[in-house]
Amino acid sequence: MSILQIKLEEFEGPLDLLLKLIDKNKIDIYDIPISKLTDDYLYYIKHKNIIDMEEMSQFIIMATTLLEIKSKLLLPKEKDEQTNEDIDPREELVKKLIEYKKYKMIAEKLYNIEVFADKVIFKEADIKAIDSIKIKTKPTAEEMLEGITLKSLYNVFEEVLKRKELKTDKIRSKFKSVTKALYNINDKISYIKDLIILNEKISLNKIFEESSSRVEVVVTFLAVLELIKTRDIKVVQQGIFDEIIIMQGE
């Protein structure tokens, strides 16, 4: 499959990048070829030097979401209990893209109104009022990733996926009698929290190795990212080649 050679221009975020890729490839937003879109998206984040940790986190979360959808499409289709119709794993992503596109158009209209406005009225800040307010700052993403970057964290996740793929029986995986396991991100978050309470600290590789499938690895990684985002866990690596350790956050 050929990968789109895209110009590494600036994007406002993961959804903005996906919309640009969809427009560039003239893709029907209601029938997205996830495999092709995922390849193009991963190509971008691998070649784009994103320095800001918060921004990098958003792009990685979207990458894992695309990989999860791609994995689900390879499994037997899930049925809706009420309508008995097939559930499309892409449906939630399509809704987010349409919603984002709608708000982006509104934002552009508001921007044009501001640009062509005759007057801009503003009130200068009250310095005394600002000085009297004490703001308690929360730890940043960098502080919760002691000694490592989100990119190195993603590299560990990618390596685990490759090992899972090598262990897969290529012949048996084509059989129709595949048992589908359902994994919930909230359940994984609770599970990781319980592990940290019991062990104080635990190896990231050990958590991934307990996953029985590629889909579970993806869900586990999403849970880890969410816990970092909410400051519930802290990720530490003492040296470049040392194990990545997870411990309780703030």
Is residue 1 included in any domain, yes or no? no
Burial of 173 (0-12, 13-18, 19+ CB in 10 A): exposed
Cβ count near 235 (within 10 Å): 21
pLDDT at 179: 43
H or E segment and range at residue 27? none
- DSSP for 136-169, please give it: -PPPPHHHHEET--HHHHHHHHHHHHHHHHHHS-
Residue 57 structural domain = 10-122
Is residue 128 included in any domain, yes or no? no
Is residue 133 included in any domain, yes or no? no
Biggest alpha carbon distance in the chain?
Answer: 72
Query: Do residues 160 and 98 share a domain?
Result: no
Is residue 130 included in any domain, yes or no? no
Distance between CA atoms of 215 and 72, rounded to whole angstroms?
7
Is residue 238 included in any domain, yes or no? yes
Query: Do residues 174 and 247 share a domain?
Result: yes
Q: What is the pLDDT along the chain (250 residues), one digit of tens a residue?
A: 444 444 445 567 888 888 888 888 888 888 888 888 888 888 887 777 766 677 788 888 888 889 888 888 888 888 877 777 888 888 888 998 998 888 888 888 887 777 766 666 656 666 666 666 555 556 665 566 666 677 777 777 777 777 766 555 544 444 444 444 467 888 888 888 888 888 888 888 888 877 777 788 888 888 888 888 888 888 887 777 778 888 887 6
Contact criterion met (CB below 8 Å) for 236 and 146: yes
Query: Do residues 237 and 144 share a domain?
Result: yes
pLDDT at 51: 65
β-strands 245-248, 145-146: how paired?
unpaired
Paired residues of 246 in beta bridges:
202, 235
pLDDT at 61: 87
Distance, CA of 8 to chain centre: 20
Contact criterion met (CB below 8 Å) for 150 and 52: no
Is residue 169 included in any domain, yes or no? yes
CATH number of the domain residue 205 falls in: 1.10.10.580
pLDDT, tens digit (0-9, with 9 covering 90-100), for 20-55: 888 888 888 888 888 888 888 888 877 777 666 777
Out of 122, 157, 186, pick the residue that ends a domain.
122
Contact criterion met (CB below 8 Å) for 24 and 6: yes
Is residue 198 included in any domain, yes or no? yes
Contact criterion met (CB below 8 Å) for 154 and 208: no
Query: Do residues 116 and 151 share a domain?
Result: no
> Which pair of structure tokens corresponds to residue 23?
């427009």
Out of 122, 157, 180, pick the residue that ends a domain.
122
Out of 122, 156, 190, pick the residue that ends a domain.
122
Hey, is 170 helix, strand or coil? coil
Query: Do residues 146 and 238 share a domain?
Result: yes
Is residue 114 included in any domain, yes or no? yes
Burial of 152 (0-12, 13-18, 19+ CB in 10 A): middle
Q: Count structural domains, the chain.
A: 2
Q: How far is CA 138 from CA 35, 67, 154, 198, in A?
A: 38, 31, 24, 26
Q: How far is CA 50 from CA 47, 53, 55, in A?
A: 9, 8, 7
Burial of 89 (0-12, 13-18, 19+ CB in 10 A): middle
